[in-house]
Amino acid sequence: SKKRGRNNYQFYNNEEKDILDRKFILEQGLTRALLNNEFLLYYQPKVDLETNTIYGAEALIRWDHPEYGLISPFEFIPIAEEAGYIIPIGKWVIESACKQAALWQKQGISLNIAVNVSAKQFQDKRFVKIVEDTLNNYQLAPGLLELEITESVMQDVEESYSMLQQLKSIGVKTSIDDFGTGYSSLNILNSVSIDYVKIDKSFIDDMLTNSSTASLVKTIIQIGSNLNFELIAEGIEQESQTNFLIQHGCHLGQGYLYSPPLPLEEMDKVIQKQQER
């Protein structure tokens, strides 16, 4: 609603202005957020659905903003991408997640740690080197790191193959995140060795009430067993969903039914409890 008065500019109504102010403030704040240690990682347990054991965790970034408090990645990741800060932020995420996983590793706790990778990171020529250096730095077993990459990031198929091959060669695991929501080329599943495919929450939400969604879920699980990748169901909220998934051969998942993303101290407690079991 850009209205131009005779002597005054009435650019936006207040609500739009607030949103723009906030976006502007966030963008400005991103420059100092890394230096000021304002980012933190939450960890959402990844669970073996049949045994109910935690085999891993997805690291999910939060921004503890001095003025606004905890901010969701849904809000600031797009701003960071647009403003060109996602590479250093992504590097911080990989560092912090690997550091934590290495700490667990030292305590004899072998947890797979999954990190989200944005398009700009995945397309960055230095990405493999960053991952490799970080693993070396913290002496983390490469197989414990899983990189979650969305389908939309893999639009350039040739480049993606090459990147996935390089990641494979250093021994990290790769997964396709939010599977089913992007312009999926089933080719990407076929031609490279992807370790995991994460079935998007929207499918999990619908599969018990929509028979064509149920068919899609069953089919992708079938493809997984033929092409040797494992399925991870995301956003499981009901036991009936777990039952359906197990029945059709999907054995891994995460969601509020098991646990929301947790701050480190709480994640540690959950792990301790499991150790004592």
Binding site for Ca ion (CB under 5 A): 116, 148, 177-178, 200-201, 234
Q: Does the protein bind ligand C2E through residue 177 (CB under 6 A)? A: yes
Q: Terminus-to-terminus CA distance in the chain, angstroms?
A: 60
Q: Does the protein bind ligand C2E through residue 255 (CB under 6 A)? A: yes
Q: Are 123 and 85 in contact (CB under 8 A)?
A: no
Helices (H), the chain: 14-33, 73-83, 86-106, 119-122, 127-138, 157-170, 186-191, 201-206, 211-227, 239-247, 264-276
Q: Using CB distances below 5 to 8 A depending on partner kind, what does residue 29 bind out of ligand C2E, Ca ion, none?
A: none
Q: Does the protein bind ligand C2E through residue 240 (CB under 6 A)? A: no
Q: Using CB distances below 5 to 8 A depending on partner kind, what does residue 255 bind out of ligand C2E, Ca ion, none?
A: ligand C2E
Write the DSSP symbol of residue 232. E
Coil, helix or strand for 199? strand
Nearest-angstrom CA–CA distance, 119 and 155: 10
- Beta bridge partners, 232, equal 198, 252
Contact string (CB under 6 A) for ligand C2E, positions 95-134, x = contact: ---------------------x-x----------------
Cβ closest to ligand C2E, residue 178 vs residue 195: 178
Distance set, CA 62 to CA 77, 89, 95, 128 (Å): 10, 11, 15, 24
Coil, helix or strand for 57? strand
Residue in 124, 178, 195, 230 binding ligand C2E, rule: CB under 6 A: 178
Nearest-angstrom CA–CA distance, 113 and 43: 9
Q: Does the protein bind ligand C2E through residue 140 (CB under 6 A)? A: no
Q: Does the protein bind ligand C2E through residue 256 (CB under 6 A)? A: yes
Site for ligand C2E in 216-235 (CB under 6 A): 235
Cβ closest to ligand C2E, residue 23 vs residue 191: 23
Q: Using CB distances below 5 to 8 A depending on partner kind, what does residue 142 bind out of Ca ion, ligand C2E, none?
A: none
Q: How far is the CB of 162 from Ca ion (least distance, A)?
A: 22
Cβ closest to Ca ion, residue 151 vs residue 177: 177
Q: How far is the CB of 23 from Ca ion (least distance, A)?
A: 23
Structure tokens at 246: 């197990």
What is the C-alpha radius of gyration for the chain, rounded to an integer number of angstroms? 20
Nearest-angstrom CA–CA distance, 79 and 141: 33
**Segment interacting with ligand C2E, rule: CB under 6 A, options 27-35, 63-71, 253-261, 267-275:** 253-261
Nearest-angstrom CA–CA distance, 40 and 190: 36
What number of chain residues touch ligand C2E (CB under 6 A)?
Answer: 20
Q: Does the protein bind ligand C2E through residue 94 (CB under 6 A)? A: no
Site for ligand C2E in 66-85 (CB under 6 A): 72-74, 77
Amino acid identity of 133?
Answer: D
What does the binding site for ligand C2E look like in residue numbers (CB under 6 A)? 44, 60-61, 72-74, 77, 90, 93, 116, 118, 177-178, 235-237, 254-256, 261
